[in-house]
Structure 1
Amino acid sequence: MKTKPRRLQRAVTLGVIALATVSLQSVAAQAAPHPDPNPSNRIVGGTRAEQGEFPFIVRLSMGCGGALYAKDIVLTAAHCVDGSDATGITVTGAVVDLESPDAIKVKSTKILVAPGYDGKGKDWALVKLEKPIDQPTLKIAKDPKYNEGEFDIAGWGADKEGGQQQRYLLKAKVPFVDDATCQKAYGDRLTPGEEICTGKLHVGGVDTCQGDSGGPMFRRDEAGEYVQVGIVSWGDGCARPESPGIYTEVSTFAGDIEKAASEL
C-alpha cells in the first residue's frame, strides 16, 4: 500500500467496518484509495458505543458509514456511492453489533451524488431506501457556528495502520483544526469552505479511517441535540501526527442537501 498518495478516501468494499480510535501508543490505519477488506472482531484502543447511543448511524454494504437524514434517506459521502447501482446497496441500522439478529437491513432504491462532484470537495450523497428504518434521524448543521470545538465521530472502520475492520461500533472525540493549520499539511488538496479538518494535531492517535467514509461527524447544539457538522471524507493515513482528518462541511451544502432530499 502506498504511503501518502494524493487523496486517501476512507472506504472499503466488504467486511464489517470500524472507527480508528487508537491509543497514543498505536499508529492508526492508512485509509485506502481502493477497496481493502480486512474483516475482524478485534478492537484496538477504541471505545465501544452503547446500543442506542447513536441510533442514526448506519452501515452501507460497500463498506462505508452514513447517517439517517430521514428515516428513508441516508446522508453519506459521494465517493462511497458514485457509480454504484441504485438498487444495489444494503443499509444496516438500529444496532452497534453488525452481527446482531436485531439489525434492520434495507435495500436502496435511488442514489443522488452531489452535483459537480469530481473527487475534490462536494463529497456528499443521498441514498433513498425502499422502506424507512424506524430510528431517530440526525439533523444537519445549517450554520457554520457549529464548525468549531470538539466533535463526536463513530463508525465500523479500520482500527490501526494497515488494519482490520470491526464488528462493533466505536466512538471517539476529535478537536477542530483551523483551515490555515490544515493547509500546512495538505496545501491545495484541501478545499476550504467545503471541508473541515479535525485531529490531535501534534500527537495524532484519534481519527476516522478506511471503512468510516460517509459516516457523520457531529456535536451537541444549544438545545443539547446532536447536529451533523461533517461527513467522513479523506486524509493522509489515519491518526498520524500533523495529518488531520478531512470531513465534508455540511453547513456549506445544507441547502443543496435539503433540496435534493425533497426530490428523491
Structure 2
Amino acid sequence: MKLREIQRRLASEMHMNVNMIRCRKAKKMVKDKLAGNFIDGFAMLWDYADELILKNPGSTIKMTVNRITPESPSHFKRFYVCFKVLKRGWKKGCKPILGLDGCFLKGPLMSEMLFAIRRDGNNQMHVLSNLSGWKKANAYEFSFWKIVKFTTEREWERNKEELYNIDEGVTNELFFKNLKVWTNTFRGLHSMSDIVDNNLCKAFNSNIMESRFKSIIITMLEEIIVKMMTRIMDKGK
C-alpha cells in the first residue's frame, strides 16, 4: 500500500491527520515485523517436512537449499510435496492427462509455485506434483523428451537405444507402459481430450489465489493442503 493511500484511509476511517513521515515509519515497522516472521517461517520448514512425513508415511517430501560455501548459511531453493494417498488415488482413478503450470507468489515471498494437475473419472482436478521432482538425470531427461516428440517409427527406433544405454532398468519400465499415451509416434491423430486449453491449471490457480498472498510459507502451504482436501471431499460426495 502506498503512503498516500495509508494517509487517506487513516483520515477517512479513523479521522486522524497523520503526516507522511509518520506513515513511512509505520509502514517500515510493519514490513520489518513481516520480514522477521517471514524468515522464521523458512527456518521451521525442516521441522514441517519431518512432521508431514511422520503423519503421512510413504509420502515424498523434499526440500533443497543452496549454500555458497559449506560453512555459509543455507538459502531456500525449493520444497516438493506428493502425498502417498494421492499417488495411489491418481494411479487408480485419474485420466492419463497432465496439466503443467506455475504461478507467482505475492507479498514478501516473491517466488514461484510449480504444479501438475490431473483429472479423475469425474473430471475433478488433483494436484500431482512439482515438475522438478521428476528429473532423474539431465542426460536421460534430454533423451526422453527427444523420443517423446518424434513422430515417425524410424526416428523412434533409432533413438530408443539412447535411453537403454543411459539406464536400462528405467527404460524397460518406461516402455512397458502404453506407448500411445506418452509418445507422438504411436499416438492417433484424433483428439485425446476435450480440454483444448489450460483451463485445468487456471482453475487450480484461482482456488489458491488467497493463499498465495500469505507472507508465512508454512501458513501458505497448510492453507493450500486444506483447500485441496476440502475440494476433493466435496466433489466426491
Structure 2 length-normalised TM: 0.25
Higher strand share: 1
Structure 1 length-normalised TM: 0.23
Q: Per chain length, whose mean CA-contact separation is higher, i.e. which structure has more relative contact order (CA < 8 Å, sep 6+)?
A: 1
